[in-house]
A and B are shown apart, each in its own frame.
Chain A
Amino acid sequence: MSATTAMVEPPPPQLRGWPRKRIVGYALVGVWIAFGLGIVSYLFFAWNAAFFAKYAPAYLQGLGVTLSLVAISMVLGAALSVPVAYGRMSRNGILSGLAYCYVYFFRGTPLLVQTFLVYYGLGSFRPELQMIGLWDFFKDAFNCGVFAFALNTAAYQAEILRGAIESVSRGQWEGAASLGLHKLQTLRKIILPQALIVALRPYGNELILMIKASAIVAIITVYDLMGNAKLAFANSFDIQAYIWVALVYLVMVELLRHGVEWIERRITIHLKR
């Protein structure tokens, strides 16, 4: 934190009357309120018990698919990110070059392209895949989604892990070495506890990004939350199909964001003075 922010400043003087800023601010808040009321009243007047009865269970199921997709690919990605992060930090040129290329590819290309590459692209290698018995796995759109998402998030998580480990100062390694701890012990007992505090927020952001990105699998015919919304819209031409799904995503993301903030406050309590 810079010196200027640490300096205590008097609170800004309260604006009196109706300066231009206040008028603009109230107008903008008014627009948002009107927008919100518009959506609420639309949902109220467009309330369609048949629509709800027909699609609400599908939405719930889709929510389950979305959550399991994100959970599985986050865990697989976390597992895969460890060797990648190791490669990125290794002094071996070939290893670090390979890891760099992996990370660059998956961070430099859109997730949609990667998903298409897995779902449609691997179809080109059907005979080969059938020969080694992997075709049954890649036949399923959900599996393809998980595969692409896990590879993608592994690249991002590897960078998070690397950044967090490198944020712990060298002295910690040296101190541990002088106490006679070997490398793995140092990593587990000294480095990771400090690094994971740093990594918590990026991991939370990555989780949120994954939940948002998971809407993409709707395009490769997975019936996740978004996929069910697409289906509902295609059948009914009722825009509330998308409004409901937007609200669900928004609530999920906000809950997660506040949850991560709460955890961060809890685990950094000992660092506050």
Chain B
Amino acid sequence: MPAQSIWTLLSWGPDGWSDDIAYGVVVTVLLALATLPIGLAIGFFIALAKQSEEPSLRLAANIYTTVFRGLPELVTLFLFFFGMPILLQHLVRFFWPDATIDVNSFVAGMIVLSLIFSSYASEVFLSAFRAIPKGQYEGGYAIGLSYWLTMRKVILPQLLRIAFPGLENCWLSLLKDTSLVSVVGLAETLRNAGVAARVTKHSFLFYGVAALVFLCLAVVSSFATSAILRSLGRREAQR
């Protein structure tokens, strides 16, 4: 096969597949970015619950992480994607007997990924919590701040700085896990590359492109995180 045909395949427009793959990349990035805040918030509260003095809160949080760290991502996704409509249907039928429910693959992927991301992030947050000395809380209370104000103004800024490298790892595995959502039909990078591979029979080329895309996303996010870390460090130095 002449080399030129590969360049045609990779071109932008109706003959090439670059536009489809670029669209997939946008979906991948959007999915990961949409998952991130939800996962971070849930993970933070799970970590709070895990270090609470109330045993029932600890138990509930531990069950959560045990389940979502123990289940393969794919199984969680399938359970959710196929099980949730059935469950919702049963619930909704009580009120509207002839309603049907479809789960959007983007939303399903977002929920499942944030469940998984949050259970890993909670471990990171928990170890960051343990690295903050008790005096920080006591200092906050001593100047009359309430619990949540202490948390927000004193603990959280330090916590994020300590947890940052661990969260970066969580983010990288989140980026990689988005590829699993292609299995339930979300048109993201891998799925679009797969379509291109099936149509053109250039499987190695297009799956290679998908791999490179994920590699580039990893490189870009490592640049971004090191920039954030540097700016955090600069702010630290100014104090």
Which residues of A are interface residues toward B (Cβ below 8 A)?
2, 4-5, 9, 12-13, 15, 19, 21-22, 24-26, 28-29, 31-32, 104-105, 108-114, 116-117, 120-125, 211-216, 218-219, 226, 229-230, 233, 239, 242-243, 245-246, 249-250, 253-254, 257
Which of these, B60, B70, B130, B190, contacts A32 with CB under 8 Å? B60
Known: A22-B54, A215-B74. 16 other contacts (CB 8 A): A2-B131, A28-B56, A28-B57, A111-B176, A112-B182, A113-B211, A120-B203, A121-B197, A121-B208, A226-B75, A233-B82, A243-B83, A246-B71, A253-B70, A253-B71, A254-B66
What residues of A have a CB within 8 angstroms of the CB of B61 in the complex? 28
> Do A246 and B75 contact each other (CB < 8 Å), given the known contacts A26-B56, A28-B60, A116-B194?
yes
- How far apart are the CA atoms of A190 and B58 in the complex, in Å? 41
Q: Is the CB of B218 within 8 A of A108?
A: yes
Closest A residue, CB atoms, query B83: A239
What residues of B have a CB within 8 angstroms of the CB of A213 in the complex? 72
What residues of A have a CB within 8 angstroms of the CB of B172 in the complex? 108
What residues of B have a CB within 8 angstroms of the CB of A239 in the complex? 79, 82-83, 86
Q: Is the CB of B130 within 8 A of A5?
A: yes
The dominant DSSP class at the A interface is helix
Q: Is the CB of A113 within 8 A of B71?
A: no
A-B interface pairs (CB < 8 A), number: 157
What are some 7 contacts across the A-B interface (CB < 8 A)? A15-B53, A29-B56, A32-B64, A110-B177, A215-B72, A253-B70, A254-B70
- How far apart are the CA atoms of A87 and B138 in the complex, in Å? 49
Q: Is the CB of A120 within 8 A of B197?
A: yes
Which of these, A2, A21, A246, contacts B79 with CB under 8 Å? A246
What residues of B have a CB within 8 angstroms of the CB of A31 in the complex? 60
- How far apart are the CA atoms of A25 and B58 in the complex, in Å? 8
> Closest Cβ of chain B: how far from A103's Cβ, in Å?
12
Which of these, A5, A108, A122, A226, contacts B72 with CB under 8 Å? A226
Q: Is the CB of B207 within 8 A of A117?
A: yes
- How far apart are the CA atoms of A200 and B205 in the complex, in Å? 38
Which of these, B63, B75, B176, contacts A109 with CB under 8 Å? B176
> Closest Cβ of chain A: how far from B195's Cβ, in Å?
12
What residues of A have a CB within 8 angstroms of the CB of B197 in the complex? 120-121
- How far apart are the CA atoms of A32 and B59 in the complex, in Å? 10
**At the interface, yes or no: B104 with Cβ under 8 Å from chain A?**
no
**Among all A-B residue pairs, the 7 with the closest Cβ atoms:** A25-B56, A28-B60, A25-B57, A121-B204, A110-B179, A215-B72, A108-B218
**At the interface, yes or no: B231 with Cβ under 8 Å from chain A?**
no
What residues of A have a CB within 8 angstroms of the CB of B52 in the complex? 21, 25
Instruction: Give chain B interface residues in 53-105, CB to chain A under 8 Å.
Output: 53-61, 63-64, 66-67, 69-76, 78-79, 82-83, 86
> Closest Cβ of chain A: how far from B90's Cβ, in Å?
10
Q: Is the CB of B83 within 8 A of A113?
A: no
